[in-house]
Amino acid sequence: MGQNIGTLIIFGASGDLTSRLLLPGLASLLGSSRGEELHLIGVDRGDVSDADWHATVTASFASESSALATKVAKNSRYLKADVTSKDDLARVLGEATGRVALYFALPPAVTILACTTLATMDLPKGVMFALEKPFGTDLASARKLNRLLETMLPEEQVFRVDHFLGKSTVLNLLGLRFANRIFEPLLSAPNVERVEIVFDETLGLENRAGYYDKAGALVDMIQSHLLLVLALTAMEPPASLDADDLRGAMAQVLRATRTQRKNGTSSRRARYGAGTINGRALPDYVDEEGVDPARGTETLAEVTLEIDNWRWAGVPFMLRSGKALGVGRQDVLVVFKEVPHLPTGLTGVAGPSCLRISIKPATLDLDLVINGQGDPFTLERSALHSDLGSGELSAYGEVLAGLLESDPTLSVRGDVAEECWRIVEPVLAAWRKDAVPFESYAAGSAGPTAWQ
């Protein structure tokens, strides 16, 4: 699309995302070889002095100081505005120079209201919209928001952000799968027993009740991040990594993905109670500040999916994410089938080989069964290990680079956002009807006892 962005306007500038992830990501980009000068404007509805805003930006930029980042921080401005007000938005847009990117770091419902107001206005030519996840609050609202955006600007100017697509380890899946002959032919139903995509954290709520208590583990992690990881793990090889080919391949595999049983009961959910993690005492989730127990929010969710295509028919894909667990595990695990016949006379370790692509830390492990060191007829397990590259930019830096360079490759395409909601919709419906038991686990444990 040519010309780079001249002004980046962040709506929700006083929020958690802006200071904790977005601004540090911008600093990492500005300090890299891809950094370009831009005018940064922070917008929120509170009274914030320019001095306070500069202090926020400078503190968030601190980890990656560079001459360009210092200049951008110094020239940045804060504007008080209600982003649902047409007059306020017109005033904010009037302050922009060059091509404009609007970053909606707002609660999802406020983003919808802001877009509805912007749809009644003349937008700056070539404007880019960056919309945070979750995109909409359910399938119907995601569809409605997409239809609204279609009336406002072309798809390539809409950047639906999911920072997992900016994680270099997630992108490593592409190199691993499509630049090696040894893995790709094996990744299919005749060879694979099951796939697990897991993002278990030792962190609890960490004062994020305002957002998390309305989302829960299923919407916060599985509906967006983990389904995109599934798409990259299971999609057909694209001809290129340009936006159309990559996102087309992701959309195709997600269209074929569904819950294991149509009624959504191939899922489990639980919530943590009081416990201790690494010596840190955590209260019961419902006693955390800002939590409304009536919402019945889960902090651990698991869904088993199947992909109805030639490659994957019948292979279960288990997606799980939880908070306050005793051990963090963030990886894609491919469990291969047992060999069709183990020659009689070979004994010892049985069981399948596994390929583990770990998101954090970024590593790859292929565990193999080999002949034993002592008795060669007794099998042993051995692991091939490799560290994976961490990339020059942080995940948010990578995503912002795509936005500011107007390259939608790492943006979630509109139909992909809708597919992700469509896949989890039967689970949400089953949970609303209480068709799935609501279990509990102690913080610091490995989850509900029955799950082990």
- List interacting residues with ligand NDP (CB under 6 A): 12, 14-17, 20-21, 44-46, 82-84, 105-108, 110, 132-134, 210-211
Q: How far is the CB of 216 from ligand NDP (least distance, A)?
A: 12
Quick check: 106 and 15 in contact, CB under 8 A?
Answer: yes
Rounded Cα distance, 280 and 273, in Å: 14
Do 105 and 131 touch, CB atoms closer than 8 A? no
Task: Give, in degrees to the nearest 5, the angle at Cα 442 between 440 and 447.
Answer: 65
Q: Is 54 a catalytic residue?
A: no
Strand-strand pairing, 192-200 and 329-336: antiparallel
Dihedrals phi, psi of 322, to nearest 5 degrees: -155, 160
Closer CB to ligand NDP, 211 or 336, in the complex:
211
Minimum distance, C-beta of residue 299 to ligand NDP, in the bound complex (Å): 16
CB of 173 or CB of 221, closer to ligand NDP: 221
CA–CA distance, 280 with 299 (Å, rounded to integer)? 18
Q: How far is the CB of 211 from ligand NDP (least distance, A)?
A: 5
Q: At a CB cut-off of 8 Å and minimum separation 6, what does 373 contact?
A: 380
Residue closer to ligand NDP by CB (options 84, 257) is 84
**What are the structure tokens assigned to 245, written together?**
């080919």
In this structure, the strands spanning 329-336 and 128-131 are unpaired
Nearest to ligand NDP of 21, 139 (CB atom)? 21
- Closest residue to ligand NDP, judged by C-beta, is 15
Compare residues 24 and 447 and give the one whose CB is closer to ligand NDP: 24
- What phi and psi, each to the nearest 5 degrees, are found at residue 8? -105, 120
For residue 68, what are its two tokens? 């360009």
Q: What is the DSSP letter of 121?
A: S
Cis peptide before 376 (omega within 30 of 0): no
Could you give the C-alpha distances from 148 to 202, 260, 420, in angstroms and in order? 39, 32, 19
H-helix segments, 62-158 = 67-75, 86-94, 108-118, 139-152
Instruction: Identify which of 136, 116, 126, 130 has the alpha carbon closest to the alpha carbon of residue 162.
Output: 130
Are 202 and 219 in contact, with CB atoms under 8 Å apart? no
Among the listed residues 39, 54, 163, 225, the single catalytic one is: 225
In the complex with ligand NDP, the residue whose CB is nearer, 100 or 215, is: 215
**Smallest distance from the beta carbon of 92 to ligand NDP, in angstroms?**
10
Q: Whole-angstrom Cα distance, residue 35 to residue 40?
A: 13
Give min distance, CB of 33 to ligand NDP, in A: 26
Contact 40, 72 (CB under 8 A): yes
**Shortest distance (Å) from residue 88 CB to ligand NDP:** 8
Cβ closest to ligand NDP, residue 108 vs residue 264: 108
d(CA 404, CA 243): 15
Nearer to ligand NDP by Cβ, of 9 and 234: the residue is 9
Pick from 235, 234, 211: nearest CA to 111: 211
Query: What are the residues whose beta carbons fall under 8 Å from the beta carbon of 352, sequence distance 6 or more?
Result: 193, 335, 336, 337, 338
What the block records as the tokens of 99 is 């091509």
What minimum distance in Å lies between the beta carbon of 17 and ligand NDP?
A: 3
Q: Which is nearer to ligand NDP, 323 or 356 (CB)?
A: 323
Q: Which amino acid is at 175?
A: G
Q: How far is the CB of 106 from ligand NDP (least distance, A)?
A: 5
Tokens representing 295 are 């919402």
Residue whose pair of structure tokens reads 């380890």 in the numeric block:
169
Q: 166 with 393: CB under 8 angstroms?
A: yes
Q: State the minimum distance, in angstroms, from the CB of residue 182 to ligand NDP.
A: 35
Residues annotated as catalytic are 225
